[in-house]
Amino acid sequence: MKEAKFSFAKLAAAQAASGARAAAPQALAAVRPAGDRRQLHAQVCACLARIFAAVRERSAFTLEPAATLVRRMAAERPARDELFAAALHLDAVDQFAVHHSVNVAVYAIKMAQDLGFDAERQVQVGLAGLLHDVGIALLPEPLIYKKEPLSAEELNRLRERPNSAARILQCLGPELGFIAECAAQVCERIDGTGYPRGLRAEEIHEYAQIIGLLDLYEALVHSRPNRERLSFFEAVKYICKSCKTQFQRRHLKSLLRVFTVFPLDSYVQLNSEAVGKVVETVPDQPMRPKLQIILDSQRREVLAERVIALNEAPLLNIVRGLAERDVRELRKGAMVPGGAEGATCDTVEAPVL
C-alpha cells in the first residue's frame, strides 16, 4: 500500500504558540470540573471529530483543546460518574469511530487512577488513549462501516492503522513522543502475538499495554456495523479466558476492579427470575453489586423503590447479564433466550475495529 504523506508543518508553531504540554500535576490541580460529566463525553467527541477532520484534510491541528478536556476528565472522581456511564452504555454504531477512542480515554484514566498513577500520568495515558486510533481517519467510510465480511486486502488496510497513527502523531514533537509510540504499539501483546512488530513484554510502553487492553474491552462491549456487542460479563469472560497471556496480570486485575463483571447501570437477572439494574458496584465482590429491582420474579414492574445489596443477600445470585432491549422484551412479556447480547464469548473473534 502506498504510504500516506503528511504535511503538518504548522503544527509545531501552533503548539509553541498555545504552550501545549503534557499536563503537569499543578496544571491539573488548577482545573475545576464544571457542568455535567455526561455532556463532557459529547464535548470530547466533538473535539476528536475535529482532529479526525484535520487529519483527513492533511491539515495541522493543535493538541491543547483535547488536553484541556482530558485534564477535566481526570480532575474529578465522583462516586457516580456520568462520564464513565456514558462511555460504557452509549452505543451509536454510526459514530463508533469517534466514540471508541473517547471511551478508551475515559477507561484509561479510570484504570490509571486505580493503578495509582499520579495526576500527570493520568492525563498522559488519557491523551494517548484519545489519539491511539487517529489513523482510522484516513480510511474510507465505506470500509469503516462495511457490514459484510472484509477481504484480506481490507483487513490489511485496517491493520495498518497503528503505523498510520504513529506517523501522524510524530508531528506533535519529541516532548509528546510517547503518544506516537503508544499508537504504534497498541496492538502489540506481551506474549508476542500482536502486530505490527510482534513486540514482547517490556518492549511495549506501559501506556500501550493498558490502552491495548481497554481498546479490546471497548470494542467487545459496543456494537459495530458487522456484529452485535457482547454483554459486559461475556466481554470480561472472553478476555480472561482467551487473552490472559496477552496482558499483564495486574492490568487484568485492574480491569476487574474498575469495570467489575456487571458495571454501573447494567441489567442482570437473578436466580429468583427478578431483574435488577446495578446502582452500585463492590470492587472486591464483582459478582455481588447493589441492585435496584425493576421486574419481580413474575416479570411484573416494581413501582416502589426496592434496592438489594447482593453481598448481604446470600440466597440471591446473578445468573446472566441483560441488554436494554432484553429488558424491553421482558416488560412486554416476551421470552429472552439466554439473555445474551448477540454473540457469546465462546463464538466471538477478537474484533478488528
9-259 maps to which CATH number? 1.10.3210.10
- pLDDT at residue number 70: 97
Mean pLDDT for 276-286 is 89
Residues 256/246, Cβ–Cβ less than 8 Å: no
Residues 177/127, Cβ–Cβ less than 8 Å: no
> The whole model's pTM is what?
0.85
Give residue 321's Cα distance to chain centre.
Answer: 19
> Rounded mean pLDDT of the chain?
86
- pLDDT at residue number 341: 45
Per-residue pLDDT reduced to its tens digit, 293-314: 999 999 899 999 999 999 999 9
- pLDDT at residue number 333: 78
pLDDT band per the 50, 70, 90 thresholds, residue 222: very high
Beta bridge pairs of residue 267? 277, 322
pLDDT value at 41 more than 90: yes
pLDDT value at 3 more than 50: no
Per-residue pLDDT reduced to its tens digit, 49-95: 999 999 999 999 999 999 999 999 999 888 889 999 999 999 999 99
pLDDT value at 339 more than 90: no
Percent of the chain with pLDDT over 90: 70
Closest CA to 87 of 218, 210, 209: 218
- pLDDT at residue number 217: 97
Mean pLDDT for 209-226 is 96
Per-residue pLDDT reduced to its tens digit, 160-200: 999 999 999 998 989 999 999 999 999 999 999 999 999 99
Please state the domain extents for the chain: 9-259, 267-331
pLDDT value at 338 more than 50: yes
pLDDT band per the 50, 70, 90 thresholds, residue 27: very low
